[in-house]
Structure 1
Amino acid sequence: MIGSKINWWLFGLTACLLSGQVSAQQYRFNYSKLYTQMKNNLKEGHPDVKVAFFFQEQETFRICNIDKAWMEKDEHYEEFTIPDSQELVVPIDNNLRQVGPLVYVDTEKGKLCDFSMVVMTNKPLQGQVTYTQIKALLPQMSKMLDDLGGMFSSWFSPEVIGLTLEFRSIRNGSITVSNGASINIENGKGLIKLVDLKEEAVLDFPQTTFRVLPLLGK
């Protein structure tokens, strides 16, 4: 199972869809709800991993473009800068949590998009990546998932067994491993299981990753 989406019922983060028409979608969030999840990025134990927000197309699961995103409260208004990755980047500010502005997001016209909260690496992986680098990410992802889930989440959380690599412009290909093996890239994704790698393994990535997510065991 790929750790690309986190269940809504577990974290209670909800979005209000203001327009259900395919021609345009606008979502509204309470900033304090977003802050509850984002504040985990400030905790210790996962310096290379973060919680991130995206919108994904319902049918294809591809990332939807964000046309515009902003927050407002009474006469105060601030528009967000949307990076090329189309991540919804919201400031982490306890003062804002107390004020309680509303966050609005307009997604691209003509597509039905779902809000998606993911655990992913802060930086992409590229070039030659070692077994040690991959291994170091797994406990950080587990810790972040535990932080998001609360006190007893470690009792029922699936194990992080590897990484899910997403590539933007490679649909099908392979990642070369130093022992002569290879890892397939299918539909833009490559799955790396740590148990399948030797400690001296070096992986040669054909392209910089778009996102690096946890790969969860069953």
Structure 2
Amino acid sequence: MKKLSLSLLGSAMLMLATPATHAQEYMFTYSKLYTQLKNNTKEGHDDVKVGVFFVDANTKKLCDIEKAWMEKEEHYEEFVIPVTKELPLPVDKNLKSANPLVFVQTQQDTRCDYSLVVMTKSPLAGQVSYEQLAPLMPQMQAMLEDLGGMFAGWFTPQVQGVTMEFANDLNGKIVLSNGIEKNIVDGKVQVALNEIGEGGYMTLPESTTRVLPYLPSATE
């Protein structure tokens, strides 16, 4: 098995590939991730967090993590990967000091990118009201700016809503209480908070797998 070291300094997305006949294996040090992950413990981030994922470099779909673990000398701990495909790294100062190696194996024949995202801690489901979503906007904004560093507030796009992802590349729609319909295409849909309006709500066909910020100005 070929092992590849990832340098995570100053980058939120990196690409590496191994020969197609082998599973792809990533190796990095815990301390390099801790700088970003520690934002999850900050006051004011009650409903949002930084999530760690691997994304197919070609399709941009989430990669399956076949196995992941930490090791340091005689110590070894394997992670249980959730159905959301998130790498469930703990946030621990003691681990930062010990600085174990973290290994991640993804499926063979697939080149994956390492990705840090801002997302909600809990999924959305059923009827989701304006009042339920509104508190998420400033928390997502603050987390993005915390990740960006000292001057991030000057250039971080404004969070104006949510990007919702659903399992199995769902194609369908969500319906807003004002009659607007939004199409879910390949498991993804974006909704601005002002499209729902105060006192309004949206109805989801099933529970989300991830809820990320919607940053319209970032794509303009």
TM-score, normalising length from structure 1?
Answer: 0.90
Tell me if 1:50 matches 2:49: yes
Whether contact under 8 Å (1:146, 1:153) holds in the other structure is yes
**Residue in structure 2 matched with residue 131 of structure 1 by the alignment:** 130
- In the TM superposition, what is the alpha-carbon distance from 1:16 to its structure 2 partner? 8.7
- In the TM superposition, what is the alpha-carbon distance from 1:132 to its structure 2 partner? 1.0
SS at structure 1 position matched to 2:115: strand
- In the TM superposition, what is the alpha-carbon distance from 1:69 to its structure 2 partner? 0.6
Higher relative contact order (CA 8 A, sep 6+): 1
User: For the residues of structure 2 that align with 1:155 and 1:10, how far apart are their CA atoms?
Assistant: 22
Deviation per CA, 1:55-85: give whole Å up to 9, x if none: 1111111111111111112222111111111
**Residue in structure 1 matched with residue 28 of structure 2 by the alignment:** 29
Whether contact under 8 Å (1:163, 1:212) holds in the other structure is yes
**Residue in structure 2 matched with residue 172 of structure 1 by the alignment:** 171
User: For the residues of structure 2 that align with 1:30 and 1:9, how far apart are their CA atoms?
Assistant: 9
User: For the residues of structure 1 that align with 2:216 and 2:110, how far apart are their CA atoms?
Assistant: 31
User: For the residues of structure 2 that align with 1:98 and 1:132, how far apart are their CA atoms?
Assistant: 41
Whether contact under 8 Å (1:31, 1:101) holds in the other structure is yes
Distance 1:138 1:30, change over 3 A: same
One-letter identity of the residue aligned with 2:99:
G
**Residue in structure 2 matched with residue 206 of structure 1 by the alignment:** 205
**Residue in structure 1 matched with residue 155 of structure 2 by the alignment:** 156
Whether contact under 8 Å (1:11, 1:148) holds in the other structure is no
Distance 1:61 1:210, change over 3 A: same
Percent identity for Structure 1 against Structure 2: 51
Whether contact under 8 Å (2:14, 2:115) holds in the other structure is no
- In the TM superposition, what is the alpha-carbon distance from 1:178 to its structure 2 partner? 1.2
One-letter identity of the residue aligned with 2:130:
Y
Aligned Cα root-mean-square deviation (Å): 1.9
**Residue in structure 2 matched with residue 20 of structure 1 by the alignment:** 18
User: For the residues of structure 1 that align with 2:66 and 2:187, how far apart are their CA atoms?
Assistant: 24
TM-score, normalising length from structure 2?
Answer: 0.89
How do residues 11-160 of structure 1 correspond to structure 2 at under 5 angstroms? 11-12=10-11, 17=16, 20-23=18-21, 24-160=23-159
- In the TM superposition, what is the alpha-carbon distance from 1:13 to its structure 2 partner? 5.7
Which stretches in structure 1 are left out of the alignment for 5+ residues? 1-7
Decide which moves more: 190-199 or 159-168.
190-199
User: For the residues of structure 2 that align with 1:89 and 1:215, how far apart are their CA atoms?
Assistant: 24
User: For the residues of structure 2 that align with 1:104 and 1:25, how far apart are their CA atoms?
Assistant: 10
User: For the residues of structure 2 that align with 1:182 and 1:80, how far apart are their CA atoms?
Assistant: 39
Whether contact under 8 Å (1:16, 1:29) holds in the other structure is no
User: For the residues of structure 1 that align with 2:141 and 2:195, how far apart are their CA atoms?
Assistant: 19
User: For the residues of structure 2 that align with 1:189 and 1:67, how far apart are their CA atoms?
Assistant: 24
Whether contact under 8 Å (1:49, 1:137) holds in the other structure is yes
- In the TM superposition, what is the alpha-carbon distance from 1:12 to its structure 2 partner? 4.0
SS at structure 2 position matched to 1:160: coil
Whether contact under 8 Å (1:11, 1:149) holds in the other structure is no
